[in-house]
Structures are given as C-alpha cells and as structure tokens.
Amino acid sequence: MKGLWQKLMAPRRLEYLEVDANFLIKEASIGVYRFADSGENPDIGTDVRREFPELIGVEYILRAVLEEKQPNFQLKGIARLREPHSLLYFDLYCIADDSQPDVHPQTGLIILLEDATERMAMEQELGQVAKEATLLSHALVAANDYIDKIITSMADALIVTDSTGKIKTTNAAAQKLFGYTAVELRVSNISHIIEDHQLWPVQMAMGSGCTELVRDVEAVCQMKSGARLFVSFSCAAIQSDSEAIQDLVYIGRDITERKRSEEKLRLAMEKERELMDLKNRFVSMTSHEFRTPLSTIISSADLLEFYCEKYKDEKLITHISRIQNSVNQMTQLLDDVLILGKAEAGKLEFKPDWLDVEDFCRDLVAEFEINLAGDRQIDFVAESQNTIAYMDRKLLRHILSNLVANALKYSPAGTPVLFNLIYGAGEVIFLVQDWGIGIPLSDQPRIFDSFHRGTNAGNIPGTGLGMAIVKQCVELHGGRISFVSEVGVGTQFRVVIPFKVQPLPEI
C-alpha cells in the first residue's frame, strides 16, 4: 500500500496518512512532517488530531465519510509558520479507505496533504491585484462622475467634436445657449452652429499639429430659432478613444451683450469725436470772427479817448474806458477759449528756447504793477544767481500771468502777493502765494477743470478757464503743478518745470 500511494502521489508532491476509525495513525508517508504542527513525522498509533488540530471539532464529518454518508472532506489553505516570516500553506483531503471493499463499514480514512504555498501566493497576489483594480475602477467612476458634474455645472458652453466636426458631446450650457436638445446636437455638425470660415484660426492651428489651447476665437453663431449671437471660443485637441485620432473640445462664452456694449461705446466715442471737432471748429471760428469787430470797437474807443482827453469831457472818457475794459475782457476770454481748444485737441504748440527766467519774471511783474492800485503789491524774490532755462516763453507767460492775476483777484486790498523763483536740482520752481479767500475743500479736486469756479468766488469776475490752461501749459513742459489752500487763509501754487526739456513733435 505504501509504495502504491507514493507512486500515485509523487507527481503532485502529495503526502498521505492512514488512520483507523478512532483517528489513530496507522501509516504515514515520509514527508508528512512538513505539514505536521510539530514539524516532525508523527508516531504510528498517535491521534492524528495532535499534529493536525484543524480536525478537532469536525469528527462528525470524518465519521460521515468513514460510513460513506459523505464522499469526502477537505480543508484548504491551512497555514504553518516554518521560519520567521515564512509561511507554508497546504490543503487537506479525507476519503474513506476502500482498500478492503468487503469490510463494512470502512475500517479507516486516507488523509492526503498537498503543498498549496505557490497557489496561495498567486491567489493572494491576484486578490491584491483585483483589490487594486476595484479601487482603480471606483476611482475612475468617481473621477468620471466628478468630471461629469463639473461639465454639467459649467456656465460656459462645452462641445466635443471629432476631427470632421461631428458633435459627440455637449453640456447643458451649450444646449441652453443654442436652443437644441442633447440628441439634436449629437446628430449635428458644428458647422450648423458656427460657419466654417469663422473657425479658420482653429483649423489652421490643428492642421499644423498644434495641441496648445487656441484662445478667444470670436464667432457669430446660429441658434435653433434662427437668432444670431456672438460667442468667444477656446479650442484644444484631446485624445479620442482611438490613439490615432484626436477630438476637438470647444469652450464657448456668450459675449453678445459685451459686443453690443462695445458697439454702443464705439458709436458714442465716434459721436464724441464729431462733437469735439464741431466744438474746435466753433471755437476757432468764433475767435477769429469776433476779433475783427472787437478790433474795430477798441480802435474807435481809442480815437474817442484821444479827442475826449483833448477837449476834457470827463463823463465821455469814463464811458470810453468802460468800453475798452469790456473789449479787453472779451478778447482775453476768446484767447483763453482758443488756447484751451488747441490744448484739448493736442494742437497747442510747444516751442522752447533758452531764456533768462528771472528777467522774464521781473518783466511780467512790472507789467502787472502798471495797472495795480496803490495799496496792491507783488513781492518777487529770485533765490538763485543762474536763472537761464529752456522753456516756451509764450506758455510760461500763460502759466505765471494766470497764477499772479488770480492771486491778486482773490485776495483783499492791502495784502501782498508773494512770487518766488527757486532753482532746484535740475528743475525750476515757481511759488505764488496769496492771503485771500482760499479754495473750499469741495472745489479742490475740480480746480483744474474747464469752466469750474470756486463756490466762494461770489461776484468776482472770471471764466473758470485760467487754471485749466495753466495745467495744460505745465504738462507740455513736462512739469507738475500742486497747491495748498485754506478758506479765509490763502492759497499757494507750486509749479515745477524740468531745467531742460526737449521739444515735443508738432501734431
């Protein structure tokens, strides 16, 4: 019997035990020790359950096999720790010993032991792989679900097409934007929505093998209702299910309202340019047309003044003086309007030249003092010896004459006006200080706006153009102007002009 079992079990690396009806070992193959709990070959006559405790508690099953009520019994994947961190797995099979078929019931059991270590390792590895595959599958499902939620919740329209333009996928925003259902879009070509010629930037980029995102392609799109709308598209190539074929994903945003606003803005700007041109033409025409009659009036007034002085008619002389003053004010107003119009149109000429700034300022002060009342005074101080600078004489006169005139006009009789000339590091500084009515805080942000006057100016004559002209002239010099003011205390203006500036090209 022993030799027969060994021949039968050798190819499968099986070991065996024969036990009697009381589970006592009658015979054992030489390699049984490998599977025994003690790691040694069991002694004949010992209880098989001592070396194989897995059989404890299943004796009723073993008896059923012994009595042929059950064909067999098996335990799979029994583990034995043989070396540190080394496990042996084996399977145990029990069948009735039918070597004596005439004996009923059977007299014993055959227990077969098969090494299952390699199989268990493979099963564990396969189990781990299956577990990882399951996790990956769940992660993929979750990722797809996440992407689907993002696509569904996108405010921008999303369209995926194949290389021929046939629509494969759309989101809810695209369906709402163009007025089609998902099914209607899936059986359509993108050319039904966007004409091919409008997508030439995308077609050129994709035709040259570009995989980068093509941004902001603006197109006029056709809705299902026939209405047209402006859409800004971005497009990129993505890998399709087939490695050799790429799909195209379009992301579009409705810019119809923006385009309408841009068109309104364009029309408004065009209208503003027309009005500006009209204003400039009117200012130019008014200035030139008014000069002729004004010149005639002033000439006639001068002649009348000459003859009236000769014949000493005081009353007539007073009226003639009023005519002259009014004409001069009107001429100054026209000059201011003309200068401001040129400045706003970018046509105010800037022609700098070398000049002695101190002499220029002293001459200007002398001109003012000719017409000053006896109780008015301009205190001019030049705090430098070298006063040669490169400036536009005409524009500098506009700057300083306006500042000094305002200081005199808005300060009470008997108070002086301080006029300082200072040479700094690479720049010329002009200070004009008065102790007049001051500028209210609410008016200060708009002091350089055309036609704006302080709310406390009252009946003091003025047009509100002077400070706007000053600012334009200072900026043409590449300079800057600032001021500090307090109501009832006075105002100081500070003009800073670079020591030398290059002439700007004429416009």
Burial class (CB in 10 A: 0-12, 13-18, 19+), 493: buried
Beta carbons within 10 angstroms of residue 469's beta carbon:
23
Structure tokens at 124: 């564990």
CA distance 171 to 186: 11
DSSP string of 33-90? GGTSTTSSPPPTTSBHHHH-GGGTT-HHHHHHHHTTSSS-EEEEEEEEEEETTEEEEE
CA angle 52, 55, 59 (to 5 degrees): 145
Structure tokens at 72: 């067999």
pLDDT given for residue 235 in this prediction: 82
| Tokens 């359950």, residue located | 49
pLDDT at 28 over 50: yes
6: left (phi over 0), alpha (psi -120 to 50) or beta: alpha
Q: Which domains does the chain have, with CATH numbers?
A: 1-123 (3.30.450.20), 154-259 (3.30.450.20), 270-344 (1.10.287.130), 349-498 (3.30.565.10)
Would you say 229 and 221 are in contact if contact means Cβ atoms under 8 Å apart? Answer: yes
CA distance 294 to 257: 54
Range in 135-144, 247-256, 298-307, 466-475 with the lowest mean pLDDT: 298-307
CA angle 291, 295, 300 (to 5 degrees): 155
Give the side-chain half-sphere CA count within 13 A for 372.
23
CA distance 356 to 426: 16
Q: Is 266 helix (H, G, I), strand (E, B) or coil?
A: helix
pLDDT given for residue 111 in this prediction: 93
Distance (Å) of CA 344 to CA 266, 349, 350, 449, 472: 20, 12, 14, 12, 8
- Reply yes or no: is the peptide bond before residue 84 cis, omega within 30 of 0: no
Q: Strand order of the sheet with strand 73-83?
A: 25-28, 14-20, 108-115, 86-96, 73-83
Q: Are strands 378-383 and 417-423 parallel, antiparallel or unpaired?
A: parallel
Using pLDDT thresholds of 50, 70 and 90, give the confidence band for residue 505.
Answer: very low
Using pLDDT thresholds of 50, 70 and 90, give the confidence band for residue 350.
Answer: confident
Using pLDDT thresholds of 50, 70 and 90, give the confidence band for residue 213.
Answer: low
CA distance 23 to 282: 128
pLDDT at 431 over 70: yes
CA distance 227 to 178: 9
CA distance 497 to 470: 12
59: left (phi over 0), alpha (psi -120 to 50) or beta: alpha
How confident is the model over 277-330, as pLDDT tens digits? Answer: 656 655 655 555 566 666 767 776 777 667 666 656 666 666 666 676 666 666
Q: Is 449 helix (H, G, I), strand (E, B) or coil?
A: coil
Give the side-chain half-sphere CA count within 13 A for 341.
19
pLDDT at 422 over 70: yes
Q: Which amino acid is at 122?
A: M
- List beta partners, residue 429: 422, 496
pLDDT given for residue 491 in this prediction: 94
How confident is the model over 176-204, as pLDDT tens digits? Answer: 888 889 888 888 888 888 876 766 666 65
Would you say 375 and 413 are in contact if contact means Cβ atoms under 8 Å apart? Answer: yes
Give the side-chain half-sphere CA count within 13 A for 490.
14
Query: Is the model more confident about 390 or about 317?
Result: 390
How confident is the model over 41-82, as pLDDT tens digits? Answer: 899 999 999 999 999 999 999 999 998 899 999 999 899 887
CA distance 79 to 296: 128
